[in-house]
Amino acid sequence: MTDQPAHVRRPRYKGANPRRFEDKYKELAPGRYAGEQAKVAARGHTPAGTHRPICVAEILEALDPRPGQSALDATLGYGGHAAELLARLQPGGRLLGLDVDPLELPRAEARLRALGFDEAMFRTRRTNFAALALVAAEAGPFDLVLADLGVSSMQIDNPGRGFTFKADGPLDLRLNPQKGQPASAFLRTLRADQLQALLEENADEPHSALLAPAICAAREGLATTRQLAEVVRAALRAAGEADPDQVRASLQRTFQALRIAVNDEFGVLERFLAALPGALAPGGRAAILTFHSGEDRRVKKAFQQGLREGAYAAVAPEPIRPGAEERRANPRSSCAKLRWARRS
């Protein structure tokens, strides 16, 4: 008699559809459940463990990729933009993908290899895009440079990464969990006035003066995302703020502000923008996708300064926004702004 494999009971969850990330077994295994991701996407949601590239058509128009060119995707993420670029760079073109995330980078590389892009066409490097000057000295200059500054859905949706207040997880917020200190430790280094300034600068939080002292008073016991979220909710309730939409917005802004600070995202972006003209070949094009005012303001100023100084021949006169259909199909695209520049 042959041994039969033990029967594995399917996960159980409340409601018609699973809510917890780890329960979404069909979305997380598209090889076994063909079509499940398409069904989820059709409902205007991003399937668990994936990322939907934003402004693809607009980015392709701005960069105008052509066969034989050299491209840099400075924030590879899931690889959706890179796949579209690579298809248009062939024959003879190549793309280098950078990403600081040690967990997602090998997965993105495997996806793109499965699409047929070999080492001659596509390579990766695990580094922060603040190292652009060094990367360009070794592998550039580039005809095309793309930077998508959004945090990927794979990072946001996975509670284990600590990016979301919607599920409990470690209060981490690091893009590279192998470097630096998590948000829980970072909070213990701040005074209330410093945290208030951070909430205002990084997220335009209108309740910063209320939230900062409440968070600092509780910070020694803050180890998880749920604990931080409850402190924010309690402080807002005590001040009479009962509108669930306003509470949710403050939670989003609080987590955003901490994430930007923990990863030094503004400093990293400024170093990238300073090195960008020198990384582009003559006539080369750059496109940068931003997701909040602090990022867009820095990109706009750097591009305008480069235009005045002659480093750029042309820059986007206004930010390009996702179309109405994309915003409906993918609500996470709603706050995106795309700006481009062309090297002299």
**pLDDT per position as a tens digit, 284-296:** 999 999 998 999 9
Beta-carbon contacts of residue 272 (< 8 Å; ≥ 6 apart): 74, 129, 130, 132, 147
Q: Is 142 helix (H, G, I), strand (E, B) or coil?
A: strand
CA-nearest of 50, 48, 40 to 22 is 48
Would you state the pLDDT for residue 321? Answer: 96
What's this model's pTM, rounded to 2 decimal places? 0.82
- Per the document, the length of the chain is 344
Integer Cα distance of 123 and 237 in angstroms: 50
- Are the beta carbons of 342 and 314 closer than 8 angstroms? yes
For the stretch 177-209, pLDDT in tens is 888 999 999 999 999 999 999 999 999 999 999
38-88 pLDDT, tens digit per residue, is: 555 455 445 545 568 999 999 999 999 999 999 999 999 999 999 999 999
